[in-house]
Amino acid sequence: MKRFDFEASQVVLALLFAAAGCSVPSVDVKMAADASSDNAGIDLIVSEEVRPRDGADGASRLDATIEPVDSSASSGGAGDSGRAGGSGGAGGSGGSGGSNSATFLQVVAGYQFTCALKTDHTVSCWGSNTSGQSKPSSDTFSTISAGWFHVCGIRRADGAVLCWGDNAYGQLTVPAGIEVTQVSAGATFNCALKTDSSIVCWGGTDDGLSAGVIASPPSGAFVQVSSGVAHACALKSDGVATCWGTNLFNEASPPGGVLFSSISAGDNHSCGVVKATGAVQCWGENSNGQATPPAGTFAQVSAGGHYHSCGLLGDGTVACWGANNSGQCTQQDGTFKQVAAGQYHSCGIRSDGTVVCWTSALLQVVAGTYHTCGLRISDGSIQCWGLITDSKSVRQPGPFLQAAAGSNVSCGVQSNDTISCWGDNVTGAMKPPTGSFRNLGVGYSHGCGIKTDDSLACWGSDDLGQADAPTGSFGRVVAGKYHTCAIRNSDLSVACWGKNDYGQSSPPTGEFNSISAGDDHTCGVKTDWTVVCWGRNDAQQSTPPAGILFYQVAAGSSHTCGILNSTDDSTDLTVKCWGDNSSGQVIALPNQFKSISAGGDHTCGLDAYAWRVKCWGHDAFTESSPPADL
């Protein structure tokens, strides 16, 4: 059963497929009747089942290579050199970098997640886990490669290719019997170099982009292959480059007469290290200078980023060029062994074997009553700002997969699926239960989570029944001030419990993609993308505008905001708010957003193009003023 997270797939596909000049493939939206995986999210799928995810309610939302440098593969492409992610631990250099004290052989980055190959050849991943891409196999590998939402590696025990994560386009279905020396994961497909030096590709089924890559890999003998979004490139032993697939920006048209020692296929551009001089030469889309490398002698290049590229110079320093809207091209100090350009961030392995990533982008933002927290892509840590009662609560090292913010408590699902909470009374009533969880919501004095077996577990105050969870199988849970709601996996209906003086725990019938709980009201996006709200309505917070479709809805104290879903093939992603405006919380910023979260009297969102946080509304406690590096 494959799930596509709404924010990390449908919006991504809409934006990036449009950038490639292609229409977004048709998507069947339905929810999982049986939910067998630990993935959570509004799950937009292609002919497969998915599970719901909540809107941003300030309480819950979850929302990801380069081959070892040798004579045959010294740089990677979209999957080889990486796309996005970070490393465990806080600190680092440049932007909001994070470093890991463990030592690694290789780092790869997918779409907002990162994986790294340890010196014992096991894999560690962090960041987005919408499709299980950050839950690696326990096997040992000789090399790994990351696509948009999946990872592939060559297993050391038998040389077999093993993949995990998203399989919506068949990218995990490795052709039987192949023996390979290299694998490169593209956006929704993979290509590999077989032991006879020929190329085999698979995946990309009905994705609207990569059919040409899968159907027509070049014949002959090659020493390296690199997969991009809708094209791939390969090198012959004499350094001649061959590319195939989509060529809208000439990304599949390498310069003639130039021999390369390595090659890297990115989203809509490609780069290679010139064999004779060590200079980097790029071709394809250059809207942000991503195909205009600096001068110098390079040992490796990574064109994995959508609008930026990075390279490792001969002296071990790193240079990145192109878009820097998320700090992904921030100059780094020190020397490195490898570099990987992600979508909105970059990562590298330092000379001491530690991993560091740099970006200002967030994977998730959640707004509490008077504070806000963000989950950093760079290192999986959670950083909070605003009214923080405990100085230790400002930065939690993680790594985390999800963040949740309530009144005076914040929580997160850690990479081992356990819950960690900080703030008021976290050793008392708000101490979370043990066990494995995949989604959680935090209210005023209670919390609820969905365990990996899809059952509910609640803790904290239960004086109004807010922690008295029903039995059954659920896909998403959200917590209001004194009430809780969840979406059933069986029929996508909503169940609510707890305080009901305004009807906030009396949901309407119907099928829901997502829900969001405010103080005394609840809102949900139905499967036809209309919004319905129930509960307190004295400020018109439960009266959504008529005739408008929404991707996501976020309920605050007495206001509500939603991300617009356009009625045609274009992508809107702007925000419209309604309800109480005493602090300017319904005057939304004009930006396009990938997700939003409504707190007490403020709202925050992640910019759709830079994944940086922007807030509006109440700011007396600086809850709407994120740190400068975010």
- DSSP codes of every residue in 222-291: -SEEEE-SSEEEEE-TTS-EEEEE--TTSTT-PPTT--EEEEEE-SSEEEEEETTT--EEEEE--TTSTT
- Please give the order of strands across the beta sheet that includes 512-517: 512-517, 521-526, 531-535
Which of the residue ranges 311-325, 390-404, 517-531 would you say has the lowest mean pLDDT?
Answer: 390-404
How far apart, in whole angstroms, are the C-alpha atoms of residue 177 and residue 307?
37
* Tens digits of residue pLDDT in 522-532: 999 999 999 99
The pLDDT of 286-290, averaged and rounded, is 96
Cβ atoms of 393 and 111 within 8 Å: the answer is no
Half-sphere exposure of 365 (CA within 13 A, CB side): 33
CA distance 611 to 190: 26
CATH topology of domain 98-358: Methylamine Dehydrogenase; Chain H (2.130.10)
- DSSP secondary structure code for residue 450 in this structure: E
pLDDT score at 19: 45
CATH class of this structure's domain 368-617: mainly beta
Q: Tell me what pLDDT residue 89 has.
A: 28
- 240-245: Cβ within 8 A, 24+ apart: 241/272, 242/218, 243/270, 244/212, 244/213, 244/216, 244/217, 244/218, 245/210, 245/212, 245/213
Q: For residues 190 and 145, give the distance between their C-alpha atoms in angstroms, rounded to a whole number.
A: 9
Cα 36–chain centre separation: 21
C-alpha 265/C-alpha 288 separation (Å) is 17
Burial of 463 (C-beta count, 10 Å sphere; 0-12/13-18/19+): exposed
End-to-end CA distance of the chain: 35
412 burial level (CB within 10 Å; 0-12, 13-18, 19+): buried
What is the residue whose two structure tokens read 């690696």? 136
- Determine the average pLDDT of the residues in 408-431: 86
> Which residues lie across from 486 on neighbouring strands?
477, 495
Q: What mean pLDDT is reported for the chain?
A: 84
Q: Which residue has the higher pLDDT, 388 or 71?
A: 388
Q: What span, in angstroms and rounded, lies between the C-alpha atoms of 75 and 80?
A: 7
Q: What is the pLDDT of residues 111-170, one digit of tens each?
A: 888 999 999 999 999 888 889 999 999 999 999 999 999 999 999 999 999 999 999 999
How far is the C-alpha of 88 from the C-alpha of 402, rounded, in Å? 14
Q: How far is Cα of residue 437 from the mean position of the Cα atoms in its chain?
A: 18
Give residue 424's pLDDT band: very low, low, confident or very high (50, 70, 90): confident
What confidence score (pLDDT) does residue 59 get? 30
pLDDT tens profile 18-53: 444 444 333 332 222 222 222 222 222 222 222 222
Pairing mode, if any, of strands 150-155 and 161-165?
antiparallel
Per-residue pLDDT band for 69 (boundaries 50, 70, 90) equals: very low
Kindly tell me if the per-residue pLDDT of 197 is higher than 90.
Answer: yes
Q: What ranges do the domains of the chain cover?
A: 98-358, 368-617
Phi and psi, residue 280, nearest 5°: -100, 135
Q: By mean pLDDT, which of 47-56, 393-402, 482-491, 564-573 is the weakest?
A: 47-56
> Are 98-358 and 368-617 equal in CATH topology?
yes
Q: Residue 392 in contact with residue 359, Cβ under 8 Å?
A: no
Amino acid at 163: C
Q: Which two tokens stand for residue 589?
A: 């910023």
Distance CA 83, CA 147 (A): 8
C-alpha distances (whole Å) from 200 to each of 55, 83, 584 are 41, 22, 56
Strands 318-322 and 336-341, by their bridges, are unpaired
What distance in Å separates the CA atoms of residue 243 and residue 519, rounded to the nearest whole number? Answer: 55
Residue 76 DSSP one-character state: B
Inter-residue contact 330 to 95 (CB < 8 Å) = yes
